[in-house]
Amino acid sequence: MEAVTAGPPVMTAGRSSGARTSASTVAFAMFLAVTLAGLGGLGGRLFAVFFVAAAAVAGLVAYYRAPTRYVVFVFALWFVTPFIRRVVDLHHGFQPASFILMAPVLVTLIAGLTIVYRARELRGALMYPFVFMLVGVLYGYFIGVLKNGVLPATYALLTWIGPISFSMHLILHWRTLPALRKAFLDFLQWTIPLMGAYGIYQVVALPSWDQYWMVAANIASIGIPVPFGFRAFGTMNSPGPYAVVLMIGMLFLFGTARRGMVIALTLALIALLLTRTRSGWVALAIGLFIIQFMGPLRRATRNWFFIVLMGVVAAPVLSLDVFRDSIARRLLSFTSLEDDSSLRTRVMLSNLAIQEIGRRAEGEGLGATGGAVKISSDVGRQASIDNGFLEIFYVLGWPGGSMVMLGLLGQLLTLARFRDSRQDAFANAARASFWAFLSVLLIGDIFSGSVGAMFWAAYGFACSAHAYNYAVGTGLRSRELARDFGGFTPTATGG
């Protein structure tokens, strides 16, 4: 098997395991204390430094002492750091390029240590797509340094390398998949309903920190800063990433049939509709289709039941006038796309990008789009061209863009070979999430930042599940071999 090159690690227990867990508990307690102090208005402008430092320390301790907590911590930071930033901005003034947002980037980069420690395992078909991706990104970095400056290019590089490293981290830790899977799903089971509920509350009540940020950031696409006058963005920076998080959470919870998921999925569905992000709706539909028709057959009937039940529970809330009108208008726009102003804007930006790509084959380099624009000296830069496919070639040029597309093709071919998703609901949910992301590629970047972290995590979990299933015998194509296979049963990790 391609990625399985060594036996499972021997896990220690008893006092050693308890000491490891205690160390991570202390680190997270310190991080939580710093965070609560900042939310209360303490720390001033220095809070950003304290917060990022505390997050980095907690992430490092968890990486070495409690690996499952580290994985959950990465997701938690991507989910809530923008919310923390907005509350702090309310206390101390709006910062266009807030250092607080570096916390999830740096903690995700810690996963790169796994590549160093397990360099001997970086071979096989599961790892080939990463080679093409990294070559393309490094090319874009050198062009970005020349065209956009060291700081913007480096920041953009970190938002690419971190999620890619995290994906490789998940694959290389396939032996501990049961513990990672449980921790991740437990996290989603609590987090997704809370994020969905906050998005609904946000639209209805509009908290002061969200209102202040909408005015200061001046993002017209979200709407006007009054209750029911904008698209829900929850704890994220905009409706798009918030819709992606809800979509991913719904697919994993639905695909694995977690207990109590009906309430969680209902809240997430309402919030997703309130984002009015059509790409998120389409991506969710594609993911649900794959889960239903390409997953374990024994779950098919139950899945239909849960879909109907979720719609029945959500219907009373969605039928309220304040929700129904805005959502209905967005749904009706599917029937008249030629009259949609946002679509016309996307087409215009795409045409301009095509012209630039034709004129500059070398690309604009990392730092030309995305969050790096806020720290660039070129104030005229366009943060996004609303087309992820064209943005790849606009930023990385033909050489780097071709490498990334080859890597993406390698990912598709890799996942297409997996057959164990018919027996493994988690593997199927991860693969469904990956395909759902591809439907978003034509309208936004899916490889970097918060969305990139979710995309690469979905791919990492899918490959990790395949490696684990192959090792224990359930991933073998021959059912006779699978029955006779003497697979191992890994010991659960601590933390």
Asked whether residue 307 is assigned to any structural domain, the reply reads yes
Q: What is the pTM of this model?
A: 0.88
Burial label for 57, CB within 10 Å (0-12, 13-18, 19+), is middle
Q: How many domains does the chain have?
A: 1
Asked whether residue 10 is assigned to any structural domain, the reply reads no
Cα dihedral value 134, 115, 245, 441, nearest 10: 20
Residue 168: CB partners within 8 Å, gap ≥ 6?
A: 111, 114, 115, 122, 127, 130, 460
3-state secondary structure of 334: helix
Tokens at 30, concatenated: 């310190």
Q: Name the region of 9 (left: φ>0; alpha: ψ -120 to 50; beta: rest).
A: beta
The Cα–Cα gap between 247 and 33 comes to 31
Radius of gyration of the chain (CA): 22
Asked whether residue 82 is assigned to any structural domain, the reply reads no
3-state secondary structure of 490: coil
- For residue 103, the model assigns a pLDDT of 96
Asked whether residue 363 is assigned to any structural domain, the reply reads yes
Asked whether residue 90 is assigned to any structural domain, the reply reads no
Q: What is the pLDDT along the chain (495 residues), one digit of tens a residue?
A: 444 443 434 344 444 555 556 888 999 999 999 999 999 988 888 999 999 999 999 999 999 999 999 999 999 999 999 999 999 999 998 888 889 999 999 999 999 999 999 888 887 767 888 999 999 999 999 999 998 889 999 999 999 999 999 999 999 999 999 999 999 999 999 999 999 999 999 999 999 999 999 999 887 778 899 999 899 999 999 898 999 999 999 999 988 877 778 888 999 999 999 998 888 889 999 998 888 887 666 676 777 777 788 878 888 877 777 777 777 777 776 666 665 666 677 777 777 778 888 888 888 899 888 777 777 666 556 667 777 888 899 999 999 999 999 999 998 888 887 777 778 889 999 999 999 998 888 777 889 989 999 999 999 999 999 889 888 876 555 444 444 444 445 544 444
For 271, the enclosing helix (H) or strand (E) is helix 261-274
Asked whether residue 407 is assigned to any structural domain, the reply reads yes
Q: What is the largest CA-CA distance in the chain?
A: 66
Q: Which domain holds residue 359?
A: 120-477
Asked whether residue 64 is assigned to any structural domain, the reply reads no
The Cα–Cα gap between 106 and 99 comes to 11
Asked whether residue 220 is assigned to any structural domain, the reply reads yes
What residue spans of 93-176 are helical by DSSP H? 102-109, 112-117, 128-148, 150-172
In the block, residue with structure tokens 């971190």: 162
